[in-house]
A = this chain, B = another copy of it.
Amino acid sequence: MDCWVDGQPADSLSLKDRGLAYGDGLFETIAVRGGQPILLDRHLARLAEGCTRLAIVADIELIGDELLRYAAAMGEGVLKLILTRGDGQRGYAPDPTAPGRRILQGNPPAAYPAAHAEQGIRLFPCTTRLSRQPLLAGLKHLNRLEQVLARAEWQDGEHAEGLMLDRTGRVIEGVFSNLFIVRDGVLMTPDLQRCGVAGVMRAEILFQAESLAIPSQITDIRLEQLQWADEVFVCNSVYGVWPVRAYAALSWPVGPLTRKLQTLARALLDA
């Protein structure tokens, strides 16, 4: 399907765009099923928070309408929204009144092996560490060189994802996923106030856990703590939930809470 730029079909971008010049913008990757963007409100909420924190001017309601129209035309697949600060002149200073630029790209449904969800995956131990930057933490912004470097660390098919730590040895997230562990019936996921992307599926899982009265914690998790986990899984808004079976010398069974939350995610994504 054609891309849209600011609501119009387009196949190219201005060379003055600040998304290109500085990674000055945000993005969302949205599953589309039956013409519907899944978890749209959560995607829009994160986007709105990013616009506030980066002072990017955007009409979130208009973006929501546009995503609905684009998804309806797509039918099935993965919709990527890039919101940049628009064109710039020379220099870093942003124009506080310039409207952001909306780029919508439709891709076919992601084709991950079914075994990832069924039997679980192995995480690659990435040596690229996430840097601490509270001003950007949680946002899905366009400065993603750390993820590019981390993803380039493995080429084998044995690892479906990689685990990223911060410099002090805290577990933060996957390269394109969030991470949860289960210990004694408690669901835990890393605090993302210093670094990391606060994923939409992570938010949904925390919400579902609350609805089901499953105790959950957002907390610092050190690498050493992984060995005490009863279950480990990763999630994102495109594939849902993948159980984690192994990381380096550690291994875990696919647990019941992982399966329960996976089923809920699948219900959303198979809608």
Contacts and interface: CB of A to CB of B under 8 A. Distances in A.
A22 B142 contact: yes
A159 to B, nearest CB: 11
How many copies of the shown chain assemble into the complex?
2
A234 to B, nearest CB: 15
A8 B128 CA distance: 36
A131 B133 contact: yes
A252 interface: no
A44 to B, nearest CB: 20
A5 B80 CA distance: 25
A108 to B, nearest CB: 9
Interface stretch (A88-96, A221-229, A261-269): A88-96
A146 B128 contact: no
A144 B143 contact: yes
A184 interface: no
A140 to B, nearest CB: 11
Interface residues on A, range: 35 or more
Contact of A23 (B14, B22, B151): B22
Count chain B CB atoms within 10 A of each CB in A18, A21, A141 and give the residue with the most: A21
A55 B149 CA distance: 9
A98 interface: no
A251 interface: no
A110 interface: yes
Contact of A10 (B11, B15, B18): B15
Nearest to A162: B92
Given A15-B103, A21-B142, A23-B22, A92 B148 contact: yes
A42 interface: no
A13 B15 contact: yes
A92 B144 contact: yes
A92 B143 CA distance: 12
Contacts of A129: 133
A145 B141 contact: yes
Contacts of A105: 15-16
A10 to B, nearest CB: 7
Interface of A: 3, 5, 10-24, 27, 54-55, 78, 80, 82, 84-85, 90-94, 96, 103, 105, 107, 110, 128-129, 131-133, 135-136, 141-152, 167, 175-176
Nearest 3 Cβ contacts at the A-B interface: A23-B23, A12-B12, A143-B143
Given A92-B151, A135-B146, 13 more contacts: A16-B105, A17-B20, A20-B142, A22-B145, A23-B23, A24-B144, A91-B151, A92-B150, A93-B152, A94-B148, A94-B151, A131-B133, A135-B149
